[in-house]
Amino acid sequence: MKRNKTIVSELNKLFPPTDPKHPVAFICDGMVKVNAEYCATETHFYGGIPETFEVTLADYYECYMSDELVKYADSVDGYFEWENSGCLVLVIN
């Protein structure tokens, strides 16, 4: 359980929640879960002109998971599985 709390803390630092009441990662039923609908914005400058993009962690319908999320799962010897279209569950080998 302590490892799960550490993982949740690390994921929430990696993907800071926009609202503290709705963290990106949390523990439910003893498992680490991630809000797949997390969305943040990033601004990049191209030739001095700012462009803002939405960044999501995953999209069930597009069969997409963030590379950073996948790399994090690899670093803890695990992987993410879909619980439903809005939630990922971390499975540790």
As for how many domains the chain has, the answer is: 1
- 3-state class (DSSP) for residue 6: helix
**What share of the chain has pLDDT > 90, as a percent?**
53
Domain hosting 38: range is: 2-92
Out of 6-15, 37-46, 73-82, which region has the weakest mean confidence (pLDDT)? 37-46
In this predicted structure, the answer to whether residue 86 has a pLDDT above a threshold of 80 is yes
CB distance 52 to 41 below 8 Å: yes
Q: Helix H segments across the chain?
A: 2-14, 67-75
The whole-model pTM stands at 0.82
pLDDT of residue 91: 96
Q: What is the mean pLDDT of residues 53-67?
A: 84
When comparing pLDDT for 38 and 70, which is higher? 70
In this predicted structure, the answer to whether residue 2 has a pLDDT above a threshold of 90 is no
Nearest to 59, CA basis, from 72, 69, 51? 69
Q: How confident is the model at residue 12 (pLDDT cuts 50, 70, 90)?
A: very high
Q: Is 80 exposed, middle or buried (0-12, 13-18, 19+ CB in 10 A)?
A: buried
Rounded Cα gap, residues 32 and 34, in angstroms:
7
